[in-house]
């Protein structure tokens, strides 16, 4: 059992009977509640055993009891109560009420309750406090919700908070003893069970709501991912369309045999647009290839490394350890396989952000927050997920990348054709200089800037 200091308990619960002139005062409360004592370093048979102290309160209050057989009966009750409490045997505790009714009645009378309402309120508060004591957050909410009832029965909420902060485990034992003494085991345990059932029902409803919201969020993220990838393909398609038009201009100019400075500038501008498209395509191919390689390493399916080289693949058990309960803590252990696994997953998320930024080009300046939103749209992974859900997200990300790779592959023949034309033009026309500002050609004067732009030429 946990160590407990009685000092606060006596002053805390003495207030229960302050409005009753006939109720015991603080000293009486300390006597009646002497079961709240330090018992960590005591044996269960010792005088400081919590259960034995609770039962012993009956002997100090009921002064009219006879000695002899009743003393022996009281000692037997003390031991049986302690055994039932320590083992958590609620059935045995309930049986003690029928076997020793006078013992429970004596303790209850010694509590100094004003009336039945106060006794029931104290017992109910004890039952709900026992449930709330499972976490500091729940205890804080309980204190806020029940401050009025605590004050009404003569208990200072601040004292309760202090008792809990000093020893949460001891506080749980304290409220159990208080609830049993106030209501009796039957009613107290039933009330505790009802409170737990209500809490579980609320948690289930909250979990279902959260699951529904998570599914909606994932659906929205998937749709955003589809749109972002579509935007990326549109951007590359727009570059391809510009390159196609430039290719036509180049062919027409070369077929016409144009060889003026203006026509040469037009041809060079057309070739540059084709080169821009080829470069963008090659960059996308490289990025997607690297991203697919990272995905394979995360999934543990990448090719085995060369002899003597570290294995970049994440083992399934290491993947599992960085998700769900304790996942974040595991990933923060320096030098551990879990830390390495999360670093690889984090790398994949960074690549997802790159994909999002690329996909948003052409839509205006891309801020960091916009890039992060794009990354989440492609890869909705966080460490609160279960390993199964995280694997599903990785699979979805792999499908996104594969769609992009397929799209790029379809454009490869056109890219190769353009590259051949670019090489041929550079080989045959590489020595041609661009027009200088102020240069006259075919009745026009070049004003500077892009020679392919008609507005940069003035008619003489």
Task: Give residue for tokens 């549109």.
Answer: 234
CA 373, 375, 381, 382 torsion: positive or negative?
negative
Which 3 state secondary structure label does DSSP give 44? coil
> Alpha-carbon distance 202 to 210, whole Å?
12
Average pLDDT, the chain: 69
Higher pLDDT among residues 101 and 243, named by residue:
101
Tell me what the mean pLDDT of segment 438-448 comes to: 71
> Alpha-carbon distance 293 to 300, whole Å?
10
> Alpha-carbon distance 86 to 226, whole Å?
59
Residue 195 half-sphere exposure, CB side, CA atoms within 13 Å?
Answer: 18
Other CB atoms closer than 10 Å to residue 117's CB: what's the count? 11
- Cβ-Cβ contacts under 8 Å for 311 (sequence gap 6 or more): 304, 305
User: Are 337 and 311 a contacting pair, CB within 8 Å?
Assistant: no
Say what the pLDDT of residue 13 is.
Answer: 43
- Cβ-Cβ contacts under 8 Å for 362 (sequence gap 6 or more): 231, 234, 235, 238
Percent pLDDT > 90 in the chain is: 4
Say what the pLDDT of residue 47 is.
Answer: 47
Radius of gyration, alpha carbons of the chain: 40
Tell me what the mean pLDDT of segment 172-196 comes to: 75
- Cβ-Cβ contacts under 8 Å for 190 (sequence gap 6 or more): none
H or E element that contains 441:
strand 440-441
User: Are 188 and 126 a contacting pair, CB within 8 Å?
Assistant: yes
Question: With bands split at pLDDT 50, 70 and 90, how would you rate the model's confidence at 253?
Answer: low
pLDDT at residue 429 greater than cutoff 50: yes
H or E element that contains 329:
helix 327-331
Q: Which is nearest to 265 in space by CA: 434, 116, 147, 125?
A: 434
User: Are 259 and 267 a contacting pair, CB within 8 Å?
Assistant: no
Say what the pLDDT of residue 227 is.
Answer: 42
> Alpha-carbon distance 339 to 329, whole Å?
9
Give me 261's structure tokens: 């400075």
Burial of 250 (0-12, 13-18, 19+ CB in 10 A): buried
> pLDDT tens digit string along 27-65?
433 433 443 334 334 434 444 444 454 445 445 544 554
Q: Which is nearest to 344 in space by CA: 271, 293, 414, 279?
A: 293
CA 139, 145, 147, 152 torsion: positive or negative?
negative
- Cβ-Cβ contacts under 8 Å for 410 (sequence gap 6 or more): none
Give me 224's structure tokens: 């955003």
> Alpha-carbon distance 121 to 133, whole Å?
18
> pLDDT tens digit string along 288-325?
888 899 999 999 998 888 888 888 899 999 999 898 87
Higher pLDDT among residues 113 and 378, named by residue:
113
User: Are 154 and 11 a contacting pair, CB within 8 Å?
Assistant: no
CA 305, 308, 313, 315 torsion: positive or negative?
positive
What is the pTM for the complete model shown? Answer: 0.40
pLDDT at residue 366 greater than cutoff 60: no
């Amino acid at each position: 059992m946990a160590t407990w200091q009685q000092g606060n308990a006596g002053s805390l619960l003495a207030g229960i009977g302050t409005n009753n002139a006939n109720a015991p005062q603080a000293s009486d409360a300390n006597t009646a509640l002497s079961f709240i004592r330090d018992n960590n370093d005591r044996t269960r048979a010792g005088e400081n055993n919590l259960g034995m102290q609770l039962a012993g309160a009956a002997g100090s209050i009921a002064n009219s009891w006879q000695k002899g057989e009743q003393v022996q009966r009281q000692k037997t009750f003390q031991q049986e109560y302690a055994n039932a409490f320590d083992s958590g045997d609620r059935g045995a505790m309930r049986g003690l009420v029928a076997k020793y009714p006078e013992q429970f009645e004596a303790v209850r009378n010694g509590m100094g309750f004003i009336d039945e309402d106060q006794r029931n309120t104290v017992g109910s508060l004890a039952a709900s406090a026992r449930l709330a004591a499972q976490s500091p957050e729940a205890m804080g909410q309980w204190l806020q919700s029940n401050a009025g009832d605590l004050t009404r029965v003569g208990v200072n909420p601040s004292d309760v908070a202090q008792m809990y902060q000093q020893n949460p485990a001891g506080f749980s034992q304290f409220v159990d003893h208080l609830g049993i003494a106030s209501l009796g085991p039957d009613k107290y345990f039933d009330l505790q069970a009802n409170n737990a059932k209500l809490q579980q029902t609320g948690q289930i409803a909250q979990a279902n709501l959260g699951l529904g919201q998570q599914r909606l969020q994932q659906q929205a993220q998937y749709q955003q991912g589809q749109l972002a990838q579509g935007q990326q393909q549109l951007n590359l398609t727009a570059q391809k369309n510009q390159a196609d038009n430039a290719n036509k201009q180049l062919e027409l100019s070369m077929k016409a045999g144009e060889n003026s400075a203006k026509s040469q500038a037009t041809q060079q501008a057309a070739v540059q647009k084709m080169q821009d498209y080829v470069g963008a395509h090659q960059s996308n191919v490289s990025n997607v290839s690297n991203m697919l390689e990272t995905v394979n390493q995360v999934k543990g399916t990448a090719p085995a490394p060369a002899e003597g080289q570290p294995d970049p693949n994440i083992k399934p058990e290491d993947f599992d350890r960085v998700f769900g309960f304790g996942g974040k803590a595991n990933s923060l252990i320096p030098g551990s396989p879990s830390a390495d696994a999360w670093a690889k997953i984090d790398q994949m998320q960074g690549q997802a952000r790159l994909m999002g930024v690329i996909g948003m080009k052409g839509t205006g300046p891309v801020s960091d927050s916009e890039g992060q939103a794009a990354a989440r749209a492609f890869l909705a992974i966080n460490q609160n997920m279960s390993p199964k859900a995280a694997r599903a997200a990785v699979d979805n990300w792999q499908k996104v990348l594969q769609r992009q790779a397929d799209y790029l592959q379809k454009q490869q023949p056109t890219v190769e054709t353009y590259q051949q034309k670019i090489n041929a033009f550079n080989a045959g026309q590489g020595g041609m200089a661009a027009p200088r500002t102020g240069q006259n050609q075919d009745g026009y004067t070049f004003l500077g800037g892009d020679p392919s732009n008609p507005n940069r030429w003035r008619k003489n």
